[in-house]
Each structure stands twice: as C-alpha cells, then as structure tokens.
A = this chain, B = another copy of it.
C-alpha cells in the first residue's frame, strides 16, 4: 500500500496498482536480486522516483507485491466450513478458481515464483499455507493430527498448482477443471478423514 498521497486519491491508487502489477512480473521473472526499482518503474510506465515515493524500498515493494488479497484469505476460510464429505472437492475448486482470478492469480504466482529463492517470500508462503490451509482446518482429534492432515492436503494442492500454473507441465497444465477435481478430490478426502497409518 502507498504510504503517502502525492496526487489525487484515484490517480494514486491507479499508479500504485500499475506498479504492483509490474513488480510481480519483474520479481517472478528476474528474481529479487535481478529486479531494480528503476526497471519496475519503466515497466509500469511511471517515473522510477514514484516507485520509491510510494513503496520506500525494494524490500517493501516485494512485500506489497506478494501480499495475499484479503478477499482470497476470506474465501479460503469460508471453504473450510464445507461439510466434511464435500471438503476435498471444495478445496480443489477453491484453488482452481483462485488461480483463474485476475487479481488473486498473479499474486499467488509472484509468491510461488519468488518463494524458492527469497527468504522473505518463503516466510510469507509459510504463513499463507499455515493460515489458509493448515491453521484454519478443524481436522483430526488433536493438534498434531490436524497439522499432519492439513500439511498433506497442502502438499497435494501446492504440487498441483506448481505443475499447472508455474512450471506448466503437461498434461496437468491443460487438463479440464472437472477432470482434475475428479482425480484429486478423493486424495484430499483421504487426507481429511481416512486412517493415515
């Protein structure tokens, strides 16, 4: 979020949003070390000084560019309220719809593409997974079991997301949503309520 108000409120919001779109792409493509505030300004077609003015530092820009949208965190929390017999399918569909969303998809992509090599984003990814996939669930008889079940669910969802949206590995990248749901929902259902040995 911008820290100051150098212009009319609307213009500030529009320019900040444009800078964040360019920053997500730059961080994802070139990594944190390979990205400069100047290049982000050029890609966003704004004066690079404005990038500093709005976001203060490259670290703060990365932080803003990879901030999970509140709307998405709320929708994930709501998904966890799905009755247990439909929860596996609901979680797969929530993931597919998030990546298809114009606002949420690019943020998730930026988080996953920088998390492999940026400690700060890895920490954020850990928080996102803990809050959205592990922390919110009510699975299991105790805390340890709940963590294991949610961790396994996360491993399948995140692997699917990396193959389909980040690494673009076929045939996962092109399968229909319905085919993926039919194939993967039972896996999640097993992690949700079966005996895991």
Contact = CB atoms under 8 A, between A and B. Distances in A.
Interface stretch (A74-82, A100-108, A166-174): A166-174
A150 to B, nearest CB: 9
Contact of A171 (B29, B30, B148): B148
Given A34-B33, A157-B159, A159-B157, A183 B170 contact: no
Interface string A165-197: 011111110010001001110110011000011
A179 B155 CA distance: 14
A36 to B, nearest CB: 10
Identical chains bound together, number:
2
Interface of A, helix, strand, loop or mixed by DSSP:
helix
A172 B151 contact: yes
Given A122-B168, A151-B171, A169-B129, A156 B28 contact: no
Contact of A182 (B115, B159, B197): B197
Contact of A31 (B33, B147, B184): B33
Contacts of A170: 147, 151
Interface residues of A, number: 52
A115 B163 CA distance: 11
Given A155-B159, A157-B159, A190-B187, A29 B197 contact: no
A183 B152 contact: yes
A113 interface: yes
Given A190-B187, A196-B183, A115 B33 contact: no
A-B CB proximity, top 7 nearest: A159-B159, A33-B34, A31-B31, A182-B197, A113-B116, A155-B159, A151-B172
11 contacts: A31-B33, A34-B34, A114-B117, A151-B169, A151-B172, A155-B160, A156-B156, A159-B159, A159-B160, A162-B162, A182-B196
